[in-house]
Structures are given as structure tokens and as C-alpha cells.
Amino acid sequence: MTPQDRALVMVYEAVKHRLTIGLVEYIEAVKDWEVIPLTESGRVIGGVLIKDNEIHVGYGVKPKGSIRAHIRATLKEVVDKHGCALTIVQAENLAGLRFCERLGFVKLSAYDGKILLRCDRSNYV
């Protein structure tokens, strides 16, 4: 299994309780997304999924320390390329919302129990 495959499985495991599809369907649904493994001490602990300016982060293993710098570097690439980054978080996922806010995301709108957030250079630099 490649690091990207491990990262994708970890992201799925982190969100599967909010999905109505299995792993095989999930992999098919995100097949055209870029998968960037998040590593700590040489092992994959999660991943970042990117498609155009949409970005999602998930962990399979809780990091021992902050890996915000790694995610910020990835976020910077998306913002540099597209001018902003977007993500969607379930409204009840308070930890996920706080994490996004610490990265510089701000709420744009809410719909169907989800919150759309945006980050541009002015928010996180």
C-alpha cells in the first residue's frame, strides 16, 4: 500500500461515521482528488485531500505534536494557486470547526447541517 493509499484509508476511517458509503465507494468518489499523506516520525498518520480549491484533512492516528505547519504549507499552495481554499465541515463537528478556524478559515454559509468555510491569504498569513 502506498503512502497515499494509507492516507486515503485514514481519512475515510476518520469520517465514515458521517457517510452512507463504504470504503470502495469512497475511493471511487475521490479518485480525481490529490491525496497528500500527513506523516510524523516517518509514518503516515492522516491525509489532506485536495481538488481544485477544496481541501479536507483527516487523521487515523492522533499526532503527538502539532502538524499545523505541514497543513499550512499545503494550504498555502492551494491559496497561491486558486486565491482561496474552501472546505465543508459538519455543523456538529465542533473540533473540526475549531481546527479550521485556527488555520484561518471563516464561515461563508450553512446548509443541510454543513458549514462552508473559506480561507484566503488575509486570514492565515
Write out pLDDT tens, residues 27-42: 999 999 999 998 888 8
pTM for the model? 0.82
Confidence of residue 122 (pLDDT cuts 50, 70, 90): low
How far is Cα 45 from Cα 99, in angstroms, rounded to an integer? Answer: 17
Alpha helices, H only, 1-88: 3-15, 23-29, 68-82
Residues 6+ apart with CB under 8 A from 98: none
pLDDT at 59: 84
Mean of the per-residue pLDDT values of the chain: 88
Residue with cell 470547526: 97
Q: What is the CA radius of gyration of the chain?
A: 14
DSSP 21: S
Cross-strand pairs, 114? 90, 111
